[in-house]
Amino acid sequence: MLSLYVPGHSPVHRLPAGVKLLVLAAGSAALFVVPGVAVHAGELLAILVLFHVAGLPWREVLDQLRPALILLVPIFLFHVFATDWVLGLETVLRILVLLFLAVIVTLTTRLSDMIEVLEKAMRPLRLAGINPSKVGMMLSMVIRLIPLMMREAGEILEAQRARGLDRNAIALLVPLLIKALKMADDLSDAMDARGYDPGAVTPFWRGKGTP
Amino acid sequence: MIEVCGVSHRFGERQVLKDVNLALTERRIGVVGANGSGKSTFARLLNGLLIPDEGRVRVDGIDSRDDVKALRRRVGFVFQNPDNQIVFPVVEEDIAFGLKNAKFPREEIPRRVDAVLERYRLGHLREQATHLLSGGEKQMLALAAVLVMEPRYVVLDEPMTLLDLRNRRLVQEVIRGIEQPIVLVTHEFDHLEELDRVIVFDEGRVIADDTPGAAIRRYVEAMA
Amino acid sequence: MSTRDMVLIALFAAITAAFAVFPPVQIPVVPAPIVVQNIGVMLAGAILGARRGGLALLLFVVLVALGMPLLTGWRGGFGVILGPTGGFVLSWIPAAFVVGAMVEKLWSRLNFWNLLLCNVVGGIVVVYALGIPWLAAVAGLELGQALAGSAVFIPGDVVKAVIASLAALVVKRSYPLIGR
């Protein structure tokens, strides 16, 4: 689901990362402000057209999204029984729009470009003693770590299914945490070994800012 | 030259290194020992990942206590588990990481990244997500990400332990091709014969420091 | 902040995201499905402490707000933050901070019961104190209605607090990250 950049030269690819991020943020907010089945269906159609324009690999994307798509069925059914099917359709369409919007942005934008935009946007925070490049570094690391942690969590899920529900939650959770913390130690050693220097920024109330 | 003078180190109660004195002058040096023998701790001292409790580590005269950054630029370090040393989600970013840290000129970074990707046959993976690489590709990336910085020395901490046979050969080939002096920490014998010198650790002490053949004999005796 | 702190913060943001793979669990006594994800909030606070735990969840919420579908059910985006359950998601930041602050205070004499207290206060009370008024305001409900609607989740949250406490205690023994 956290698909990463697929190289390409489509107009969607060439759009500046800042613009795409803005569209994503504004678009995902608008989904809730402007409801309606027809509206969402239109949006979904527009996004699918963009998908085609960007030349993204359909099969691969659908494969990655399958777990999310399967989950939409019970959500729809829930609404059919609890409220009504129109609301269900609207909810499902909204999730689809959101998913594809996020996917289209992440697949056509280099993560490094996105993070660069964010770092630029965060520059004023230096005054408060926050180093934007450190925040950018951490964002990169989260993206790097999510698939690894999901793999671990997925294994827990499998084990739980095999052994019966919840009984072994702790026995499964603790090894995951210990393994993850060990990994954090190694990772920070590896960063230090490659010369990473987090570099502090002085907030304005403590005198001169560092370059 | 890497000099280790009177080094002792402990983790809490446990003494992991006891009075180690070595001058590493050969081009290919192996370090062997059982788990917990102190060999990994020793490796970590060489590029300042650890500062010894007692004694000094000097690389070309630079003391790890005085300028750990300069030391780290000189000594590249490759870890056992590539998953735990790949920092970025995308191959080319991970290779550029060390160069950015070392403040290479912005326009020079892509050139160097290209060269190293080409050299280690990773060119086609340039924009690949790192979590989608195979085990062998990950270790190649880890090696490339260190070698791109052109360190004067390279320390490798069991770089082949987690690999299957085929990838092991591949990585071994790359290690053979490293021009800089290397210190290879391992607990396997297969790669030792071709080295210039082998140091054997046991319970935090150097128990042998010799040609590969003699050192291995001593190691086998100690383990028996 | 050291390199290691940065990695730990990123790690717990990633762990919280990873818990999204657990589908909502339906257990017999509780009428509403339980989402596993907010156990990450308690763990981040209890294992990393106030500052790092809070920052981990801040990082997570920023990624969600940017449109990454990291919430259970692959939800994400600014819309979710502005929506009826947005208060709960936002509350995760102070929640992890409060759990962490309490754990730091009790660190030297931490046991299951006082750790459970930390997780209940930070991971449940703080979350509901912020989430319920938000829900009421956005969905146009009476505070009482919002509270009643959310109360069904409390038993599940208590179960999660127990699990988080037990896990964090074991982790403390082998990997203490707060005491200095």
Q: Residue A166: what pLDDT?
A: 54
Average pLDDT over residues B141-166: 93
Q: Residue B137: what pLDDT?
A: 93
Give contacts of A 96-125 with C, CB under 8 A: 98-99, 101-102, 105-106
Contacts of A7 in chain B (CB under 8 A): 127
The whole-angstrom separation of Cα C63 and Cα B215 is 54
pLDDT per position as a tens digit, A87-108: 888 888 887 888 788 788 878 8
Task: Report the first-to-last Cα separation within chain A, whole angstroms.
Answer: 38
Task: Sort residue B55 into left (φ over 0), alpha (ψ -120 to 50) or beta.
Answer: left
Interface confidence (ipTM) of the complex: 0.91
Average pLDDT over residues B110-123: 93
Q: Residue A164: what pLDDT?
A: 60
Q: What is the arrangement of strands in the sheet containing B153-157, beginning at the earlier edge strand?
A: B75-78, B153-157, B182-186, B28-33, B197-202, B205-210
Q: Residue A90: what pLDDT?
A: 85
Q: Which residues lie below 8 Å from residue A43, measured CB to CB, with a gap of 6+?
A: A27, A31, A97
Is the pLDDT confidence value at A209 over 50? no
Q: Residue A1: what pLDDT?
A: 40
Q: Residue A71: what pLDDT?
A: 65
Angle between helices B91-101 and B108-119 (to 10 degrees): 130
Query: Digits of tens for pLDDT over chain C (180 positions)?
Result: 899 999 999 999 999 999 988 877 665 555 556 788 999 999 999 999 999 999 999 999 998 887 787 888 777 777 678 777 889 999 999 999 999 999 999 999 999 999 999 999 999 999 999 999 988 887 777 888 888 878 888 888 999 999 999 999 999 988 888 865
Q: Residue A128: what pLDDT?
A: 85
Q: What is the CA radius of gyration of chain B?
A: 17
Regarding pTM above 0.90, the answer is no
Contact status of A162 with chain C (Cβ, < 8 Å): no
Identity of the amino acid at A113: D
Q: What is the DSSP letter of C3?
A: H
Number of domains in chain C: 1
Contact status of A4 with chain C (Cβ, < 8 Å): no
Contacts of C43 in chain A (CB under 8 A): 177
Contacts of A111 in chain B (CB under 8 A): 89-90, 93
Residue C101 forms part of a structural domain: yes
Q: Which CATH number fits domain B2-223: 3.40.50.300, 3.50.50.60, 3.40.50.150, 3.20.20.150?
A: 3.40.50.300
Contacts of A141 in chain B (CB under 8 A): 87
The whole-angstrom separation of Cα C142 and Cα C136 is 6
Average pLDDT over residues B112-137: 92
pLDDT per position as a tens digit, B17-68: 999 999 999 999 999 998 889 999 999 999 999 999 999 999 999 999 999 9
Of the candidates B196, C6, B81, B175, the one whose C-alpha atom is nearest the C-alpha of residue A197 is C6
- Other chains touching A, judged by 3 or more CB pairs under 8 Å: B, C
Is the pLDDT confidence value at B174 over 60? yes
Range of the domain at C42: 3-174
**Are A144 and B87 an interchain contact pair (Cβ–Cβ within 8 Å)?**
yes
Which residue has better confidence, A3 or B154?
Answer: B154
Of the candidates A97, A139, A134, the one whose C-alpha atom is nearest the C-alpha of residue A114 is A139
Q: Is the dihedral of CA A41, A46, A52, A57 positive or negative?
A: negative
Average pLDDT over residues B212-217: 91
The whole-angstrom separation of Cα A180 and Cα A170 is 15
CATH of the domain at C88: 1.10.1760.20
Interface mutation target, options A149, A151, A182, chain C, most CBs of C under 10 Å: A149
